[in-house]
Chains A and B, each alone.
Chain A
Amino acid sequence: MTLAATSATFRSWRQPSIIPGFGLTFGVAMVYLSLIVLIPIALLILRTTQLSWAEYWEIATSERVVAALRLSFGAALIAAAINAVFGVIVAWVLVRYEFPGKRLIDAIVDLPFALPTAVAGIALTAIFAGNGWVGQFIEPLGIKVAYTSIGVVIALTFIGLPFVVRTLQPVIMEIERETEEAAATLGANRRQAILRVILPTLVPALLTGFVLALARGIGEYGSVVFIAGNLPYRTEIAPLLIVIRLTEFDYNGATAIATIMLAIAFVMFLTINLIQVWARRRFGYV
């Protein structure tokens, strides 16, 4: 009853709808969100207030922190882009085509989630190190992957892949064949149909997958420390720097770096989500 009453007061900021259950579902979601995410993160941020602004600024702009943040964000961005391109192809192929071994391929897409990150790091290093399956062929060509920043990109590509594929798959399944058929009937060739009709419908899901892979990559620690060289300024990722600060019993330094990462990621997420909501309102769909 109270929920219904509260939901009535929401009317001003919410468009009316005949679908029931807003109060209940919104309430449950908000309470859970607050308990699990908002309060803990608020306390984390509160913790950094033990630092003065000057100290905080000094940590944020120190050369080493900047180098680590640049590597973490840069590598995550490249990895997410790789995943966006190949993820679309993989998801498309898995939904639309039949070929031997398809089900197995479909199944192992989840591997990066199930496999503990440390194991992934060890396995990837074993493959790309100078004496590994792939490393022995590419290292003579002058391409060093393990213990360099390329290794970081490889690890983050592995980690982020399921986000893109699994976000796209259900959406591709839901694309109405009629729309494509209509495009074809209206004289569009296949390429036009794909570029003008299919890809635009995939954009929101693709963006979502891209951002999720990106965010996950920025924070990733377990797999990267095995395949990166961990050398300060060169192959040291931001989460490793956090661990180092913790080892020095410097909780404030650690939380300061954490909140910087959080703030950047938050702005990124918010931008993408705003674009999506705006596009939906503007065009009715994206």
Chain B
Amino acid sequence: MSEQSLPALAAPATWRAPTAEGRPVRLLLIGVAVAFIVLFLGFPLLVVFIEAFRNGAGAYFGAFADPDTQHAILLTLLVAAIAVPANLVFGVCAAWAIAKYQFRGKAFLITLIDLPFSVSPVIAGLIYVIMFGSHGYFGPWLNDRDIQIIFAVPGIVLATIFVTFPFVARELIPLMDEQGTQDEEAAISLGASGWQTFRRVTLPNVKWGLMYGVLLCNARAMGEFGAVAVVSGHIRGLTNTMPLHIEILYNDYQWVAAFTVASLLALLALVTLVVKSVLEWRFSHELANGPR
């Protein structure tokens, strides 16, 4: 953990730990990393907030009074609340099955899991149109029963699940692979059940990867634009998620309102900060005593 590098930092500049870089190297690396992040992430973030506060804080908070905006926020939360847990369960199961056992066709299976990443968001939306649209494979059947999937909330949820499908699994598989199976095998031979082993042995080992997976999955679920745009129908106050609503506001010349909603999504990044801090605090005891 990062805390472990602290003694090296505190030590006089002339002495350094064999497992730390020299001060110039360290400063150079920090400089490069910070410059890169500021240029590629910091500036866009700044643009969003500058535009959002262009007309002052009053206009910023005023933008949330619009009922369509509120509805878009709620819809986005609802979609994420369904998509993220679904993909979490899948991700953990897939990672367990893939990382803890040896079987043929593993690379192929992982590739199938990666597949949604390589599907353009435009196509991800189109897939559901091809399945559930009026001229799609299941369209006529659904039509006869008056079930609306695309251009309604179910379609938006499906498209979001598809786009965020691999995140948790992809974050966990390399990590669990890296850790091997000795710990679990030891626990099992000591008489622990599978579930106990997972909860007590595996979960603590993968908690960071799991956290990143969930956070990324959630961020992408809330921020997804392309795929959702295809299946939403863009009905104001009904099927517009936050990203779609931002586009509408932007096209309405309501730039302040558009960037205000965008800034809210940008703040999701801060959720990462909070969750991480909480987890670090929660596990600090364990980290101090733990093997790693």
Contact = CB atoms under 8 A, between A and B. Distances in A.
B47 interface: yes
What size tier do the contact residues of chain A reach? 35 or more
Interface stretch (A59-67, A228-236, A266-274): A266-274
Contact of A269 (B19, B111, B265): B111
Interface in A69-124: 86, 89-90, 92-99, 101, 103-120, 122-124
Given A17-B185, A171-B175, 14 more contacts: A10-B103, A14-B101, A25-B94, A33-B90, A36-B161, A47-B130, A94-B2, A94-B33, A98-B5, A113-B216, A166-B216, A181-B18, A204-B177, A258-B119
Nearest to A32: B90
Contacts of B215: 110
Interface string B221-260: 0111110000000000000001100110010000000110
Contacts of B101: 14-15, 17, 19, 22
B97 A22 contact: yes
Contacts of B242: 116
Given A20-B188, A29-B93, A174-B178, A43 B127 contact: yes
Interface stretch (B38-46, B60-68, B142-150): B38-46
Contacts of B246: 116, 118-119
A114 B127 contact: no
B159 to A, nearest CB: 10
**Residue of B103, B206, B246 with most partner-chain A CB within 10 A:** B103
Contacts of A47: 130
Interface of B: 1-2, 4-6, 9, 18-22, 26, 29-30, 32-34, 36-37, 39-45, 47-48, 86, 89-90, 92-94, 96-98, 100-108, 110-123, 126-128, 130-131, 137, 158, 161-162, 165, 169-171, 174-175, 177-179, 181, 184-185, 188-189, 193-195, 197-198, 206, 208-209, 212, 215-216, 219-220, 222-226, 242-243, 246-247, 250, 258-259, 262, 265-266, 268-270, 272-273, 276-277, 292
Interface string A218-245: 1111100000000000000011001100
Given A19-B188, A44-B127, A95-B2, A222 B225 contact: yes
Contacts of A14: 101-104
B96 A99 contact: no
B interface: dominant SS:
helix
Interface string A138-149: 000000000000
A158 to B, nearest CB: 5
A169 B118 contact: no
A43 B226 contact: no
Contact of A37 (B41, B100, B116, B247): B116
Nearest to A268: B118
Nearest to A117: B225
Contacts of A28: 89-90, 93
Contacts of A274: 107
A169 B216 CA distance: 13
9 contacts: A19-B197, A21-B96, A26-B97, A32-B90, A93-B30, A158-B41, A205-B178, A238-B120, A269-B118
Contacts of A200: none
A134 B130 contact: no
Contacts, number: 358
B270 A212 contact: no
A258 B197 CA distance: 43
Interface of A: 10, 13-15, 17-22, 24-26, 28-29, 32-33, 36-38, 40-41, 43-44, 47, 86, 89-90, 92-99, 101, 103-120, 122-124, 126-127, 133-134, 154, 157-158, 161-162, 166-167, 169-171, 173-174, 176-177, 180-181, 184-185, 190, 193, 201, 204-205, 208, 211-212, 215-216, 218-222, 238-239, 242-243, 246, 251, 254-255, 258, 261-262, 265-266, 268-270, 273-274, 276-277, 280, 285
A269 B175 CA distance: 18
B122 A29 contact: no
Contacts of B42: 108
